[in-house]
Amino acid sequence: MTTKMQNKHLLAALSVALLTAAATVRADDAQSAPWQFGVTIPLWAAGIDGNTTIQGVQRDLNISFDQLKDHLDASYALALEARKGRFGVFASAGYMKFSADGKSAAGGRADISSKFLLVDGGVSYLLIRTESAHPFLLEGTLGVRYWYTETSLLLKDAGGNVLVNGSNTQDLVDPMVGLRGSQYLTPKWHLDFAGDIGGFGLSDNQAELDWSATGMVTYDFAKWFSLSGGYKAVGLNASAGSGTGKNGVDIIMNGALLAAKFTF
């Protein structure tokens, strides 16, 4: 395969991380009240910077969102949360499918498809809530992150003969810990942030470190509907194997984020 084809294959497998959105902490959620439930639908226009290692060879990456979206076949994302008083439970899931085809280095054809599933889940606890006209809220989060990838490759030579026809699946589970919070500017406008870190090399020594950071501005149109806009970055540093058998990534995905949240 050409370097361009290899880059598309790897980016397709990783870029579903953009599907997760930061949950916001509402001021009225901190009060003793019945259970409240939230549904968030995120959209993230991210590019990718960093490097990849494929069979011991490292390559730099600089891929824009416009290049990624041209190879997107399917994309689904959803985040859920439930809250009562200071305690909360959250979960999110994202799925993406990418495909690419083109000429290989030997003049043949290379067809690649990649599926990616990312699932987060955990609990939250309200640590700080200031009593003022413009309250500040801070939560701690603890949970797990599950990654699953499935990649298939069909490689033919210039004569149409099949050289490679196979698939590969990988999955891993990472613990994660983080903080998220909100600073209210008015009763309806607030600044929101979230960050977490996970991996720590605990998943079969595959994932060394992964993290995310989000900053948004939110407007509460009603108690049941909010719209947020901002910026999100996700970093992943993972590798497996050694020498010519080493494969890994060290990338940062970042871009504009929009999220609609429904609360009931």
Name the band, by pLDDT with cuts 50, 70 and 90, for residue 207.
Answer: low
| pLDDT tens column, 116-142 | 788 889 999 999 999 899 999 999 999
Query: Which secondary-structure segment (H or E) carries 172?
Result: strand 162-184
> Which domain covers residue 239, as residue numbers?
3-263
In tens, the pLDDT along 42-91 reads 988 877 788 767 666 666 767 777 877 777 788 888 999 999 999 999 99
Q: What is the pLDDT of residue 32?
A: 55
Q: Hey, how many other C-beta atoms are within 10 angstroms of the C-beta on 200? A: 14
Indicate the number of domains in the chain. 1
Q: What is the CATH number of the domain that holds 114?
A: 2.40.128.100
Q: Average model confidence (pLDDT) for the chain?
A: 78
Q: From residue 219, give the alpha-carbon distance in Å to each of 3, 29, 49.
A: 43, 16, 31
- 106 Cβ neighbours under 8 A, 6+ residues apart: 157, 158
The Cα-based distances of 183 to 10, 27, 96, 191, 252 in angstroms read 37, 9, 33, 5, 27
97 — pLDDT class (breaks 50, 70, 90): confident
CA distance 121 to 129: 23
Other CB atoms within a 10 A radius of the CB of residue 51 amount to 13
Residue 60: burial class (beta carbons within 10 Å; 0-12, 13-18, 19+): exposed
> For residues 252 and 210, what is the distance between their CA atoms, to the nearest angstrom?
10
CB 47 within 8 A of CB 64: yes
pTM value surpassing 0.85: no
Structure-block tokens of residue 86? 């200071």
Which DSSP helix (H) or strand (E) runs through 66?
A: helix 65-69
